[in-house]
Chain A
Amino acid sequence: MSNRFKRRDFLKGTVAAGAATAIPLSLVELSWGMGSQPQASDAQDFTFAYISDSHLTQVKGTEFNENFDGGLKRAVTELNFMSPKPDFVVYGGDLSQLGKAEELDHGLEIMSGIRNLDVKWVIGEHDYYLDLGRYWQDNVSDLHYSFDHKGVHFVVLNSILTFDEWTHNRWPSAMERMKQMARLDNPEGSPFMVGETQREWLRKDLANVSRSTPIVVLSHSPLYQVYRPWNFWTEDAKEVQALLQPFDRVNVLHGHVHQIMYNQIGNITFQAMMATAWPWPYPESYAQHDNAIPKTTVFMNRADPHNSRDGTGWGSVDLISGRETIHHTLWRNTNRTIAYDADAGHPVDTKYQDPADRIPPQNHY
């Protein structure tokens, strides 16, 4: 296949990319960690859909922000057009903007338009910090859980917890706490984490999973560290990764960053999924601070702010031999496919990975 990216070529390409597009040297190098060969597994190949980050916002009463409603409704409609149908759909978190019951109910109503598919829910910080996940647990789903599907073990984490002091003692009201967490560039913000209790749960959950079973971890925030000031970050990422280390094939899918981003750390592939609401800038575009955007990532096209759907979208995930291939449906832009390259040992964009194939809109600065 001509779009299979050889490791050598990729490394060469990376250097060229550094020269041609001036990617900052602070970007994280891949750690290849090939180690031992993966064992065969019984897992089947299948597809599931992924919608995330809708940030539905109540204006007043039953009036909601039309822009954000429009994004989620569009994703639901296009999901209904999907043929053949996926096995289920994951909702990646931040269904609501401020965690209000009205917003969550509104989101559940729109999502109920999905035809004949189960939804697996992941909570985001915007859903959590008003009432610490109470309404979510009562009406949407558990905060963390696991399930098996066709030989693949899925783990859903609540990765947007933070220090107890910030959560319980810092703010005069629940809404104030929620609004503080809602601001991305908040100097008073606090880093996300999975936390010790949940890590212990995870350790026990994985204890009975065989090494060769493919694993998919669903979390809202990335389970690695990209950019702390905007909470593109999980504080205890290393500890979580260590728990996932013994397994041959691990895939992490997350939202929160509202942009295309992908990485490989040892045996773990990380994929960011798009938001239906709005795009975030890449941390590279803030000149006063270092960042650790994975060098692999070919950026999504820059968005035209005139069009509310530019820079937004949803996706589907093919699990093939236990590795994920991501199909990003990008509204107003050519769709992108990012597949795991077994020879190279990391994900590559099937069209644009080679810097010579990049297009101007992928150049952010």
Chain B
Amino acid sequence: MISNRLLRLAPAPVVLASLVLALGTRPAAADEFTKQDLADWQQQFKSVAEKGEALFHSAELGTNGHSCDGCHPDAADTHPETYPKYQQQIGEVVELRNMINWCIENPLEGEPLPLDSDKLLQLEAYINWERRGVAMAPGKH
């Protein structure tokens, strides 16, 4: 129930926005996100990270039965906060997803993922999630 006061005082677009909000759809103005939006969007992120967690613990990325957690339990020692950085194993400055592909290709003996693949995104989401709260340290070895 939209209050009369709001109707009298608010300019027309805001009234429209409020009506739209009351109906449970997104506001027209970009900065009018709500706590519910935040919760929804966080949940969308988490759903991607959960897929990443499953991939991280599955043998499907490689061909030799190994999975990422076999060396990185709980994604430990992945250091997502340090990318981009000079990666000794590749011989140049790269992003996290390049190193994920290196690991897929080398210890897991699998095919590297295309750089725009959903799976890479899921893995990155999970790896970053497990490292939440740690300060950015780009370039750190």
Contacts and interface: CB of A to CB of B under 8 A. Distances in A.
A45 B74 CA distance: 42
A1 interface: no
A196 B103 CA distance: 43
B64 A65 contact: yes
A306 B107 CA distance: 8
Contact of B132 (A183, A230, A288, A304): A288
B114 interface: no
Contacts of A184: 69, 73
B77 A278 contact: no
A5 B75 CA distance: 36
A170 B141 CA distance: 43
A305 B73 contact: no
B25 to A, nearest CB: 35
Contacts of A281: 71-73, 76-77
Interface in A167-209: 183-185
Contact of A287 (B57, B65, B71, B134): B134
B107 A57 contact: no
B69 A185 contact: yes
Contacts of B132: 287-288
Contacts of A287: 130-134
B36 interface: no
B57 A183 contact: yes
A285 interface: yes
A280 B57 CA distance: 16
Max chain A C-beta neighbours (<10 A), residue from B73, B130, B131: B73
B71 to A, nearest CB: 6
A286 B76 contact: yes
Contact of B64 (A59, A279, A288, A305): A59
Given A305-B89, A305-B106, A305-B107, A286 B74 contact: yes
B139 interface: no
Contacts of B77: 281, 285, 364
Interface of B: 57, 64-65, 69-77, 79, 88-89, 103, 106-107, 130-134
